[in-house]
Structure 1
Amino acid sequence: MEVQLPDDFRCPISLEVMTDPVILSSGHTFDRASIQRWLDVGNRTCPVTKLPLPPSPSLTPNYALRSLISSYLARRPSAASSSDGHLDSLLLARFSFPSDAPTLSAVLRLAQRGGAASRRLVADSGAISVLIRHADVADRSDLQHLALRALLHISLDGDHARLGLLAEGALDPVVSALRGDPAAALAATLLTSLSIIDVNKATIGAHPASIPRLAALLSDGDERQRREAATALYELCKFAENRRRAVRAGAVAPLVRFAGEGSERAVRVLGLLAKCREGKDEMRKKAGFVRVLADVVRTGSPRGVEHALVVLNLVCSDSQEMAFEAIKVGVLDLCSVLTTDMNQKIGKNAMELALRLGIFSSPCTITKIGQ
């Protein structure tokens, strides 16, 4: 059914909902584009009253009516429950900075529930730049949160959308939102989505504050913030250069601590960092590192065990000290059991680690594992 709008919202000339209402000297309100066309062809009478107008009629913005129309459009049902796509276009045409919570909520609903076509409508309307500006308003956390959520849903529209968001300048405000305030977890989630494509991994990692702030959030944030920061680092560190950046930013210590608390994602990030020399060196400096990974092997989920074995393999590969430490905390005994695990990846990784550690153990142990 067609959405019923108050007649006062419609221009007397075009009969469409006004996007820029202005008051003519006769006292009647028209949409600016419509009345301007009326005047440009030489008409000097009011279209409603037919009374004569001054030689140069003034057009005074009707801010009160504009606000009423904006509020109505923002509070109407979402696009999923309305067939009038024209109202969506009107909402986006009137969307500007600064906006208010109801209008941002309406744009969010459009991006969130309207499907791919609605997300593209938001992107094509120029609303992204307005959302990005609101994402940078730290003193209005309610508006910032709504804007970040809308940007996150737009980013889910595919690689083109992810590239477009960075091209529009989304990176600076998103990184700025990682400072530990209520929007930090959401900002980290958005970075994860943006970094899915390789070129964005490089761009985001090269930002001087992105990885350091994720590392700080991993260290000082609440549980959700730490989880989202670890997820973002995992995606970013698939790009080799970002692994070194994460190590330099101090990510190893909080990752080890988080892994010790049962975070499988932290173990997976450590697995990526252990692929670079700087990462292995930093892990070897961390007291209790091997014991934490041994506990994961002993009690973790199958995926956690698999990745903990990968990390231990990498760290012990060229370090006699780490190998002896692993043997001391019982990793070799664990591997002798896990070599027959039904999970082929766990069995393979356990065999490789057992053979590596066996070099520093007794010959009988090596024989036992080989059998």
Structure 2
Amino acid sequence: MASKLPDDFRCPISLEIMSDPVILQSGHTFDRVSIQRWLDSGNRTCPISKIPLPENPSLIPNHALRSLISNYALVSPQKSCLGTDDEQPVALISALVSRSSSPELKLGSLIRLVRVTKRDSSLRRRVTESGAVPAVLDCVDSGNLCLQEKALSLLLNLSLEDDNKVGLVADGVVRRIVRLLRIGSSDCRAVAATLLTSLAVVEVNKATIGSYPDAIPALVSLLRNGNNRERKEAATALYALCSFPDNRKRVVDCGSVPILVQAVDSGLERAVEVLGLLVKCRGGRDEMIKVSGCVKVLVNVLGKGSAKGIQYALFILNCLCCCSREILDEVGREGVIEICLNLMEDEGEKIRRNAANLVRTLHGNSMLA
């Protein structure tokens, strides 16, 4: 009977049916015992892809696959955490996953699940371990606006658990998010961007999301065309993704730099933080140098911005001055040295340090002129 099971239920190492499937950073799933034995033997590459692994690789439970295997009744499932004392969440999940449930019943279940999982970590784990995620994703795909919005909100709640982040990406959530970034309602677009930020907390997800077709372009488009909330969430997602160096070129290549500069000028300070990461790559610096008025926008942040905005603006100006004589001269004409001297008395250590670095750059290059 076991031979009739799908091959995906078998561990690639032991070829046995998995009782505790876990996801490696490479995105491949193994039975916990088998992959742990592989790691304990000193191996630090994925057995399938040969991708290098960190010294202490994370093993993320694949709750959805475990539930599917358990449903075949060929692997003894662990005692469900949805016991008899939790009939309400059991009923909500049952209504959500049932093919016979009406859209109205599914919506009611989603609304209540969003409410109860918002602050309850144990319930978030229960929903995931029940195998309900595919049903939630079906609601995202449904075309029903109300179902989409509530399903996204539930996915956002579930993503608050670190163990769920890689699993959600493996289940195909990124494809749905990207689609709704383009064609969803305003609320859907904002929540979709927030969900990407949450998923990008995990390093392997930064790479996966960044390389996904249209993910970064969709965020840049939302930054350009969205309302205030959408633009803020898009900028936050871009910042999370750009902490992974390979994504910076992708963001620059989407024509994001002029859009980000304009966003900073309109008061969206999260955008200056994104620029602070993009300036670390050559393409980002080259694009900033081309943008007319970029220096004036950054200098304006020095005078009116928050502490973090000032910190990033100083860093960006210093990087640009180090690679462009024209920028250096423009910064000097804007009276930045005097501003920096005042900022060197600031309470924030990073602001003082960045201001001092910019002063040294300006003084050093002026003496060479």
**TM-score in same-fold range (> 0.5):** yes
Q: Distance in 2 between matches of 1:173 and 1:258?
A: 26
Offset at 1:184?
A: 0.6
Match of 1:145 in 2: 149
Q: Distance in 1 between matches of 2:158 and 2:320?
A: 40
Match of 2:8 in 1: none
Pairs aligned (count): 280
Instruction: Kindly indicate whether the alpha-carbon contact (under 8 Å) linking 1:204 and 1:210 is maintained by their aligned counterparts in 2.
Output: yes
After superposing the two structures, state which structure 1 stretch, 102-111 or 351-360, moved more. Answer: 102-111
CA RMSD across the alignment: 2.0
Q: Distance in 1 between matches of 2:338 and 2:199?
A: 42
Q: Is 2:204 the counterpart of 1:204?
A: no
Unaligned runs of 5+ residues in structure 1 are 1-82, 367-371
Q: Distance in 1 between matches of 2:108 and 2:246?
A: 38
Offset at 1:102?
A: 4.4
Q: Is 2:172 the counterpart of 1:169?
A: yes
**Pairing of 1:13-92 with structure 2 (within 5 A):** 84-92=85-93
Please report the TM-score for the alignment, with normalisation by the length of structure 1: 0.72
1:113 aligned residue (112, 116, 127) = 116
**One-letter code aligned to 2:287:** E
Offset at 1:101?
A: 4.2
Match of 2:332 in 1: 327
Q: Is 2:307 the counterpart of 1:306?
A: no
* Gap change, CA 1:101 and 1:257, over 3 Å in 2: farther
Render the CA deviation track for 1:346-369: whole Å, top value 9, x for unaligned.
Answer: 111111101111234369xx9xxx
Render the CA deviation track for 1:133-174: whole Å, top value 9, x for unaligned.
Answer: 21123x32111101000000010122x100110111111001
Match of 2:159 in 1: 155
Render the CA deviation track for 1:65-114: whole Å, top value 9, x for unaligned.
Answer: xxxxxxxxxxxxxxxxxx95124223323323575244334234335424
Q: Distance in 2 between matches of 1:217 and 1:247?
A: 15
Offset at 1:120?
A: 1.7
Offset at 1:316?
A: 1.4
Point out the structure with max Rg over C-alpha.
Answer: 1
1:231 aligned residue (221, 231, 236) = 236
Q: Distance in 1 between matches of 2:347 and 2:123?
A: 47
**Pairing of 1:123-142 with structure 2 (within 5 A):** 123-137=128-142, 139-142=143-146
Q: Distance in 1 between matches of 2:141 and 2:297?
A: 39
* Gap change, CA 1:323 and 1:95, over 3 Å in 2: same
Please report the TM-score for the alignment, with normalisation by the length of structure 2: 0.72
Match of 1:271 in 2: 276
Higher normalized contact order (CA 8 Å, seq sep 6+, divided by chain length): 2
Match of 1:253 in 2: 258
Offset at 1:185?
A: 0.6
**One-letter code aligned to 1:178:** L
Q: Is 2:241 the counterpart of 1:240?
A: no
Q: Distance in 2 between matches of 1:198 and 1:175?
A: 19
Offset at 1:233?
A: 0.4
* Gap change, CA 1:324 and 1:310, over 3 Å in 2: same
Match of 2:361 in 1: 356
Match of 2:46 in 1: none
